Amino acid sequence: MLTDNPAPQRSARASRNYVQLPRFQRVKISVLGRYMLADRREFPCQVLEMSPGDAVVIAPVAGNPGEKVIAYLDHIGRVEGAIIDSIDGGFTMDVAASPRKRDKMAAQLTWLANKDILNLPEDRRHERVVPDNRHSTVVLDDGRRYNCKIIDISLSGAAIELAVRPAMGTPVTLGRMRARVVRHFQDGVAVEFASAQEMLTVVQQNLRIN
């Protein structure tokens, strides 16, 4: 779940200048990428804060308010929108996306905001993706069952939003996948599958609710 965070120290001046969009909650991240302005010029950039509806971008050329901008960001991918306002050292932009894409983006941002906490070995071994169907169940060994929402998955594990916090090392069944709890974070847990899978399609099929 996305939570409000105070603006980072390095963007304190910027936070006074840009327009706050109340529909979405920004999180602090540090993501590199490239962006293209309407005249097709490309520049490197860094995103310091982002929500599914807007972003704070540190950039060498700010562009003009209302100008269309396309950005390609690490871990997030292609983001389209328009410049809202210039800030000291960059600009703020809105994000044009469908409700489904915003939902996936919210999950990606949740993971990015928690990636220092979720710095597990499988994060580096296998690419992590947001599944098409994020709803699943967690069953403990004593039979207790809980609904959960998947933040992201890889071939060897998953990060999930969960109302309870089973102890570290607790064996669980996520969908039909045997796993164990390897980390706690603010809104859930990270689990490692009992055996790494060969295809993400298999993982997603086995995470579906029966």
Q: Which pLDDT band holds residue 119 (cuts at 50, 70, 90)? A: low
Q: Which of 145, 176, 147 is nearest to 162 (CA)?
A: 147
- What are the residue boundaries of the structural domains of the chain, listed by start? 9-101, 114-207
CB neighbours (10 Å) of residue 36? Answer: 14
The Cα 135–Cα 1 span in angstroms is: 14
State the CATH architecture for 114-207.
Answer: Beta Barrel (2.40)
Mean pLDDT to the nearest integer, 194-206: 60
**DSSP bridge pairs for 44:** 34
**Residues 155, 197 contacting (CB under 8 angstroms):** yes
Q: Which of 112, 117, 170 is nearest to 144 (CA)?
A: 170
∠ Cα 49 185 74 (to 5°): 40
Segment 46-70, tens digit of pLDDT: 998 999 999 999 999 988 999 999 9
**DSSP bridge pairs for 136:** 148
9-101 has which CATH code? 2.40.10.220
Q: Do domains 9-101 and 114-207 have the same CATH topology?
A: yes
Segment 6-44, tens digit of pLDDT: 444 433 333 334 344 446 788 888 888 899 999 999 898
Which comes out higher in pLDDT, residue 148 or 18? 148
Model pTM score: 0.48
